[in-house]
Each structure stands twice: as structure tokens, then as C-alpha cells.
Structure 1
């Protein structure tokens, strides 16, 4: 199973456990997540983003200060913007925060339902899945020289046929290198792979 397929399977499990959605920031570095995934009500996500609530969210504060899992109702931190009261209007009545990884590359997730508190077993399962996703989505420290050169050529606007000719390989071999780079960077398109590789200074 490919890394992307494993990631998709883990995210599907999170969706099953979180009837009202989730937000998962994998590997937060320098105030930016390697991957940000959200399935909350889009209207709430829009409000949350427009108002910059991440910088004031008590769940996020808890996640940076702790590792483990906790019910939202047990987080005893200030909420000056009344974020949780607003979230309740979109069905986020009960929730769990999960945090793992070093502070230099922290993963934080919030998981919600509208009918009852999460059980201890459900919380343990959420924590297990998040830790697994954190481990499997660790940003690469480097690409192979072949992957890097393939991405560089495409990034400069070369067509696949031209790039393959410059490298002295078949077009199918070039596509295989690009596919491997996408898998390594946990993205679906070559354009996303180029952008992410540039962000991590891998090109």
C-alpha cells in the first residue's frame, strides 16, 4: 500500500469516528502545517479562518502545551473570543483534542460529534490513528537526485517528452520518478509536489 493510500485510509477512519467532522494539522513547523485537513461544516471553517481563530483557539494552545488526548469539556484554558460557543452553532457540541510529536514538528487534531461525549475507547482509537498518521506523514529530509532533477525540469516548464529526452530516459521512466516524488511528498499532483519541494528547500 502506498503512503498516500495509507494516509487516505487513516483519514477515512477519523471521519467514521467524528460524525461532525475534524481538523487535523500534521507536522506544524514555523506556524505552518505540512498538511492541513478539515471536514467540519465549511461555514464554520470559513469563519474560523477569516477571523484568525487558530491563534486564539484554546484547543490549539492545549495541543502545543501537551501531548496526549483530552475532551474539549476538560480543557481549562481561556477562550476570549468565545470560539467554542460559536462552534456549537455548527454542531460541534462534544469533542476531543489530540496532540503528538515534538514541539518543533507538532501534530494537533480536533474531532467532533453532536450527540454525546466520546468514550474512552474512541479517544484511545483517535489518538492511535493520529500518532500513526503523524509518523507516516513525516516530511522528507531529501528527495533522490533522480526525483529532484525530474521535478526541476517540469518546474521550469519542460514538457514530459522534452524532460525525458534531456535526462536520457523514457517518458514512462520520467513519470515514474514524478510519481515517486509525489508519494514521498504526500501530494496528488506534480504541481503540488514542486510547490512542497520548494517550501522544504528540496530542489
Structure 2
């Protein structure tokens, strides 16, 4: 999941509130989210990716141009590719979109169900969960000197042993710095941490 216990608890709450699954992208910057979690049916995820629906999805377009919540049936945008109708073939007959934050770091969540429309109360509940997730996962504005040095070594192509020697520390201490940098950046891998640190102008 996210490697952040508090965030994982919120994802669990979101799962309970969205019987047809959800997709949430936290702090979308330069088209890429800081964290992406998708629990929609796997077949639908494969089709959505293969057909590049992310560039054509009217619910995503609504989320990029508005904040707040809206039912899929009420977004008022054209769906020339029939994405919402096709989603219904995988049990997602009804849904909602939730959009939070500035366009420079927006969080967008979609949620589905197969039996009926989401009520206003249910949408507000989902919005509160997603808002808490958005607030909890705000990207850092700075890293420690040690974290920056470690990430720069990796960015320069140094292996762990060579980087540790360059910094005058043990290899285990160097790995600890990388671990703390990954945690600060909510990255799953060191490569991802380097990429995010660059995107945020931290290294």
C-alpha cells in the first residue's frame, strides 16, 4: 500500500465506503501522482490502461477542472468514447468523483458501486476521507543534508559502497539515509525517491 500506517487506515476506510472500488491519485504533479491506489476490477484496469482512457475520461477531466464532489451521472461533460457505459459492463454502474487541492498538486478520487447512486451524505463522507489523505500526504518542502547527499550520490550513479566511502560513513549508515529519504518522500524505491526529489526541486 502506501507504507504509511495512518494513510493505510484511511485507504481501508475508503474501501469500506466504496463497494464498487475506487481509484485515488494523491498530489498529482506533472501528470504523475505522488501515490496511486486503484481497487477497481482488474479487467477494467487493464482495459482502461490499454485504451489510454486516462486522457479521455470525462470524470478525470471534471476532477482536473473542478474541486468538490459530483456523481458520474451529473458531471455534464461529453463521453464520446463511452467510457462510463463500458465501466458499467464491469459492475460499475454508478459512481462519483472527488477533487481536492490546487491544480499544481491536486488529489482526485473516483469511486464506484453497482446498485445505486451515491447519496449526498456518502459523497461528503468520501470527501472527508480523501481530504484527510490529501493533507496527510503533502509532499515535503525540504530534506535533511544527509538525505540530500545520499540521494545525490545515487542520482550520480554511485553504488552503495562507493557512495558511503565518498561521504565517509559506513554502508549501513548510507542505507539508513536512503531509507529515511524514501520515507520522507513516500517512495517505494530509491529510484522513485530520486525522481520525486528532483521533481520537487529538493536535490
Q: How many angstroms apart in 1 are the aligned matches of 2:122 and 2:43? A: 26
Where do 1:17-166 residues align within 5 Å? Answer: 17-155=17-155, 156-159=157-160, 161-166=161-166
Structure 1 residue 175: Cα displacement: 3.0
1:191 and 1:114 map into 2 onto residues whose CA distance is 39
For structure 1, which segment, 150-159 or 56-65, has the greater mean C-alpha deviation from structure 2 after superposition? Answer: 150-159
Unaligned 5+ segments in structure 2 are none
Helix, strand or coil at the partner of 1:70: strand
What TM-score do you get using the length of structure 2 for normalisation? 0.87
Q: Distance in 2 between matches of 1:97 and 1:72?
A: 7
1:142 positional shift = 3.0
Q: Give the 4+ runs in structure 1 shifted more than 4 A.
A: none
SS at 1:36's partner residue?
Answer: strand
- CA pair 3-39 structure 1, distance change in 2 beyond 3 A: closer
**Any stretches of 5+ residues in structure 1 without a counterpart?**
none
Alignment RMSD (CA, Å): 2.2
Work out the CA distance in 2 between the residues paired with 1:57 and 1:105. Answer: 19
Cα distance in 2 for residues equivalent to 1:176 and 1:30: 29
Partners of 1:175 and 1:200 in 2: CA distance: 22
How far is 1:198 from its partner? 3.4
Alignment of 1:166-181 (within 5 A): 166-181=166-181
1:189 aligns with 2:178: no
Contact persistence 1:23–1:111 (CA under 8 A): yes
Q: Residues of 1 paired with 2:175 and 2:136: CA distance?
A: 23
Distance 1:46 1:195 in 2: 26
Is the CA contact 1:22–1:40 (under 8 Å) kept in the aligned structure 2?
yes
Instruction: Give SS of 2:77's match.
Output: coil
Number of residue equivalences = 201
